[in-house]
Amino acid sequence: MTIYKGERQRQFPTKISTTSFVKLYILHLLNEKSYYGNKIKDEIKARLNNRWEPSPGMIYPLLRELEGEGYIEGWWDEPDKRSIRRYRITDEGKKHYKILLLQNKTSFEDSLLIVKNVLKDIYGERI
C-alpha cells in the first residue's frame, strides 16, 4: 500500500478508476488482435466471467480518445456504410500499454490482498 508523506491512508487502496481499468483492458485486448467496439465490450464481460461489463457509453468515447492520442488506429470494414469500425494497437500504443501495466499492477495486487484477507477474516474462507 502506498503511503505519501507519512500520512495515513484513508482511501481504499485501489486507485485505478473504472475508466482507467477499461482503457487498460482495451489496450490489452488490442495488443492481442484487432476488435470492433461491441466485441471489446463483450470480450471484457466474458473474461470477467459475466460479472461486470463496461457500457457502450464508456467504450466508444475511450476508443475515440485512444485513437486521438495515437495509441490505436481504426478503420471501417465497409467505408461506404460506416457500420463496423475495427481497431488495432499502434507501436505508440504498445509502449503506452507497457507503462500502464507497470503503473497499475501494485493497485491490483493491493486490492487482491485486501479482498483475500476480508474473505478469510470476515467470512472465514480458506484462501
Cα–Cα distance between 109 and 62 in angstroms, integer?
25
HSE-up of residue 1 (Cα within 13 Å, Cβ side) = 14
Q: Is residue 5 part of a domain?
A: no
Among all chains, which residue has been given the C-alpha cell 460479472? 51
pLDDT digits (tens, 9 = 90+) for 42-92: 999 999 999 999 999 999 999 999 999 999 999 999 999 888 999 999 999
| 49 phi-psi bin (left φ>0, alpha ψ -120 to 50, beta other) | left
Q: Is residue 79 part of a domain?
A: yes
Query: Which residues share a beta bridge with 74?
Result: 87
Q: Is residue 80 part of a domain?
A: yes
> At 50, which CATH number?
1.10.10.10
Residue 93's domain comprises 18-123
Q: Taking residues 5-27, what's their average pLDDT?
A: 80
User: In this structure, are residues 119 and 125 in contact, taking their beta carbons and an 8 Å threshold?
Assistant: yes
- Residues with Cβ within 8 Å of residue 72, at least 6 apart in sequence: 26, 27, 30, 63, 66, 87, 88, 89, 90, 93
Going by pLDDT thresholds of 50, 70 and 90, the confidence category of residue 127 is confident
Q: Is residue 3 part of a domain?
A: no
Q: Where are the alpha helices (DSSP H) in 1-127?
A: 18-32, 37-47, 56-68, 91-121
Q: Is the model's pTM score more than 0.75?
A: yes
- Please state, rounded to an integer, the average pLDDT across all residues of the chain: 91
